[in-house]
Amino acid sequence: LGLIRSYWSLLLGNIVEWYEYAVYGYLAVFLEDHFFRGSEIGVWLGFGVTFLARPLGGVVMGVVGDRLGRGAAVNISIVGMLVGTCGQGMLPTYASGNETLGHIGLVLLIVLRFVQGLSAAGEIGTIATYITEVGSPHMLGRSIAMISITCNAGFLLAKFVVYAVTLALGVEAVKDWAWRLPFIFALVPGLIAVWGRRGVPESDMFLEQQLQAQARASEENPEVPLRRSTTSQVSAVVRAHWVNMAIGAGAVAGFAILQYGGFVWGQSFIAHAGMSVDDRMVVGLCSRVLMIALAMPVGWLTDVMGVGWVTFVGALGLTLCGVPLWAALQQNPDDLSTVLMTLSVGFGILGSLIGTVPFYFVVELFPTAVRNTAVCISFNIGFAFFGGLAPIVAQASLQASPLGPGILYAVGGFISALNVLLGLCLQRRDIVQLAHVRRSAP
């Protein structure tokens, strides 16, 4: 509760980040006609543009966070996210009947999604870094679980807003123009978060590291500037920590694929299969509420057993259950009971295990001096590659085999599990250090 009272604006901004990703996915069936001339693959390629921008955004915002502070990074990121999100709801489309306006709208959509990806890349990495640095060392699993709760709250809010707009105005109105409203609605929580972030203090770990760096620089050569160029700083981080960064990027594979290739793309799949708007709302509501309810127990389990253990168990579960759960869902995708038991409950439990603390796993891989840069790059490369491609691969794999998406989920879980085991093996050989935060805690 103390964490919420002190840093609610950070958590609210995190809701805005995940809200936008979810809104696009939930409105994909309408955006197909407005921007992509009815192409299902096209609309998911547009979805992937945001992820394409995440690695670059991770570099830029990561460096900002390590140089100017975590507070500066999260303030810049929330403003960029609002511009990118709300702007998408104000674009001209091909539905206007004017080809030129349609082309302009499509180009601007890509640009705005790129801006949104640049900004969001710094948001999640910096918040995960900040909460890990200010949270109690003995409750870091439960502290980081707040990110998972707000992440799922963002998806839940997006689902609710889309459903409310559809219920109030009707499907035809949403197809015609009301699809814009959920994008513009992001202004409400976004502006509140901007106001609340004005006085967010820096973490003690960051301030201590800055003082130590300044002292070392003064002792060695007081006439040499403390800061290096962005390029040299990023190059130095990659050279020194590339193994840890690769482990972090691979460890989030299962979470990223299940999040966007399962829960988000899955909503589009059951919509095309004929499931009603009301039933899809129930499915989305149950899965997100379940993951929110399980977040704190999983956080507690992390504090007891360790973040690597929880991440591995979740990844192994997805590897073993991805295909069977999808096979059951695919047999009857318009039946509410079937979809609830598979997509909501089955994948919801797996999602809580693999998706509650991956941020914590990645943050632990790096020391304070380079943590924000390394986390933003590592996490966003993993999410960009695995999460951005997941809906496209899921859609394409479905055309190749009815079990295609299930195989995709299983592969994602296997990659995550493999990277956790790889990290443990390399740590035993003193090649990497997996626990920088807990090892330095009193």
Maximum alpha-carbon separation in the chain? 71
Q: Which of these, 188, 178, 413, 169, lies nearest to 312 by C-alpha position?
A: 413
Q: If pLDDT is split at 50, 70 and 90, which confidence band does 228 have?
A: low
Q: What is the mean pLDDT of residues 168-173?
A: 92
Q: Which of these, 322, 380, 303, 379, lies nearest to 53 by C-alpha position?
A: 380
CB 121 within 8 A of CB 382: no
Q: Percent helix, strand, coil in the chain (nearest 5)?
A: 85, 0, 15
Q: Which of these, 262, 249, 396, lies nearest to 339 by C-alpha position?
A: 262
CA distance 404 to 408: 6
Between 61 and 350, the higher pLDDT residue? 350
For 149, the token pair is: 């709760």
Q: Please, what is the angle between helix 28-35 and helix 265-272, to 10°?
A: 80
* Minimum mean pLDDT range among 2-6, 25-29, 394-398: 2-6
CA distance 308 to 114: 32
Model pLDDT, residue 60: 80
* AA identity, residue 89: G
Q: Which of these, 302, 313, 327, lies nearest to 437 by C-alpha position?
A: 302
Model pLDDT, residue 441: 43
DSSP state of 139: S
* AA identity, residue 72: A
For 332, the token pair is: 């009857």
Q: To 10 degrees, the CA torsion angle through 44, 12, 249, 21?
A: 0
pLDDT higher than 50, residue 226: no
DSSP state of 199: G
CB 63 within 8 A of CB 2: no
The helix/strand/coil state of 387 is helix
* Minimum mean pLDDT range among 55-59, 253-257, 269-273: 55-59
pLDDT higher than 60, residue 197: yes
Q: Give 12-42 pLDDT, tens digit per residue.
A: 888 887 898 789 988 988 999 899 988 888 8
The helix/strand/coil state of 224 is coil
Q: Give 359-371 pLDDT, tens digit per residue.
A: 888 888 888 778 8
Q: If pLDDT is split at 50, 70 and 90, which confidence band does 225 have?
A: very low
Q: To 10 degrees, the CA torsion angle through 113, 117, 118, 119?
A: 100
* AA identity, residue 215: A
What is the full DSSP assignment across 66-87? Answer: HHT-HHHHHHHHHHHHHHHHHH
Q: If pLDDT is split at 50, 70 and 90, which confidence band does 348 have?
A: very high
Q: Please, what is the angle between helix 265-272 and helix 404-428, to 10°?
A: 170
For 33, the token pair is: 């006609």
Between 120 and 35, the higher pLDDT residue? 35
* Minimum mean pLDDT range among 60-64, 86-90, 210-214, 348-352: 210-214
What pTM does this model have?
Answer: 0.80
CB 338 within 8 A of CB 266: no
Q: If pLDDT is split at 50, 70 and 90, which confidence band does 195 have?
A: confident
Between 123 and 402, the higher pLDDT residue? 402
For 159, the token pair is: 């689902």
- Show Cβ contacts of residue 36 under 8 Å, excluding neighbours closer than 6 positions: 42, 43, 46, 106
